[in-house]
Amino acid sequence: MTDRLPHEKGFHVSWDQLHRDARALAWRLQDTSPRDGWRAVVAITRGGMAPAMIVARELDIRAVDTISVKSYNHQAQSEPRIIKSPDIDLVGDGEGVLIVDDLVDTGKTLEVVRALLPKAHVATVYAKPMGREMVNTFVTEVSQDTWIFFPWDMALQYVEPYRGT
């Protein structure tokens, strides 16, 4: 264990903030959606599941599938691996399909997903500069040296007063 994180800055996202930002993503996607709407949403698990549910709810998309790509163990990155693919009969080559993830960082996860579904529209709630080009639509950009902390990875806890007794 080191006593420093590899990232200088922390961007802490509450459930409330995530809900607002995922809704903002849905509203942004409305402008680029196909005429008859998206055929299906594919969430990149696990982080994409909560945002994908909110987007699917806002845009009234009932067909929701998942693709599981594992690339991080805590903050250590390894080569991304597809652990579970979506139903190919449903998603085809990605035409009319919306892929949702919580964030893009280096873009390696999306490289793998885009290779499988080249015609899909890719949306993330947050984006870092290195991976931004891999995403068609996102809401908020943070700097590359920022680590985004999601609500499912955090808990409320006591902190000492700023000015001790």
Ligand X SMILES: O=P(O)(O)OC[C@H]1O[C@H](OP(=O)(O)OP(=O)(O)O)[C@H](O)[C@@H]1O
Residues flagged as binding site for Mg(2+): 102
> One symbol per residue from 4 to 43: x for binding ligand X (CB under 6 A), - otherwise; what is it?
----------------------------------------
Q: Decide: 7 and 130 in contact? Cβ < 8 Å.
A: no
Q: Answer yes or no: 145 catalytic.
A: no
Q: Does 72 bind ligand XAN (CB under 6 A)?
A: yes
Structure tokens at 43: 């969430």
Q: How far apart are CA 53 and CA 142, in angstroms?
A: 23
Give the span between the Cα atoms of 64 and 70, in whole angstroms: 19
Instruction: Find the binding residues for ligand XAN in span 9-68 (CB under 6 A).
Output: none
Using CB under 6 A, pick the residue from 28, 39, 66, 72 that binds ligand X.
72
3-state secondary structure of 5: coil
Q: Is 148 in the site for ligand XAN (CB under 6 A)?
A: yes
Which of 109, 111, 89 lies closest to 101 in space, CA to CA?
A: 109
Site for ligand X in 98-117 (CB under 6 A): 101-109
Which are the catalytic amino acids? 101-102, 105
